[in-house]
């Protein structure tokens, strides 16, 4: 006959293995739960807004061009209104400069006409035009994250 012996120090081998299995199950459940919580929060990275103020329309007399160097945007003013053209070359992202025909990229020689259309070099696309809008207080702003069709102008009222 098998004689059951009891550990006199408090925990039998069977109880110890049972507790160990229970502990492992708890730790495993916590790990699974922690892993699941990762999916509750969307993997979305907020992007910094590309809107910036350019001042009032009085700052842009008809026929003038201003470049916002820190934003790489040209602002032009003509009889009809304002328009914004990106200074970022569509080839590899160098900054274009105004030229007698429109814009010239110093890096690989892309050339654009005055509307940003490619007229030479490796640039694959025209320069982007950006939306110009007005805040309630009359301050104009550009959204460099929002391209608009070429020829889109902020019309003076």
Residues that bind ligand FES (CB under 6 A): 89, 91-94, 105, 107-110, 121-123
DSSP state at residue 59: G
**Shortest spacing between CB 52 and ligand FES, in angstroms:** 23
**Shortest spacing between CB 88 and ligand FES, in angstroms:** 9
Burial degree of 116 (CB within 10 A; 0-12, 13-18, 19+): buried
**Shortest spacing between CB 123 and ligand FES, in angstroms:** 6
Nearer to ligand FES, 107 or 148 (CB): 107
φ and ψ at residue 152, rounded to 5 degrees:
-70, 125
**Shortest spacing between CB 131 and ligand FES, in angstroms:** 24
Nearer to ligand FES, 112 or 154 (CB): 112
Cα dihedral 49, 50, 55, 56, rounded to 10, equals -90
DSSP 85-138: EE-B-TTT-PBPEE-SSSEE-TTT--EE-TTS-EEESS--SPPPEEEEEE-TTS
**Shortest spacing between CB 99 and ligand FES, in angstroms:** 13
Is residue 140 helix, strand or coil?
Answer: strand
Nearer to ligand FES, 53 or 108 (CB): 108
Nearer to ligand FES, 81 or 122 (CB): 122
Nearer to ligand FES, 77 or 110 (CB): 110
């Amino acid at each position: 006959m098998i004689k059951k012996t009891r550990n006199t120090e408090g925990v039998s081998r069977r109880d110890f293995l049972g507790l160990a299995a229970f502990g492992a199950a708890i730790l495993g459940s916590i790990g699974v739960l922690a892993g699941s919580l990762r999916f509750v929060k969307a993997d979305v990275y907020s992007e910094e807004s590309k809107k910036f103020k350019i001042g009032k329309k009085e700052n842009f007399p008809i026929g003038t061009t201003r470049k916002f160097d820190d934003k790489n945007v040209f602002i032009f003013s003509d009889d009809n209104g304002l328009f914004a053209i990106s200074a970022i070359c569509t080839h590899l992202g160098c900054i274009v400069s105004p030229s007698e025909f429109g814009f010239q990229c110093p890096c690989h020689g892309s050339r654009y006409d005055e509307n940003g259309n490619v007229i030479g070099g490796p640039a694959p696309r025209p320069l982007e035009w950006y939306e110009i809008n007005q805040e309630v207080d009359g301050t104009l702003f550009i959204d460099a994250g929002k391209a608009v069709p070429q020829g889109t102008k902020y019309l003076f009222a």
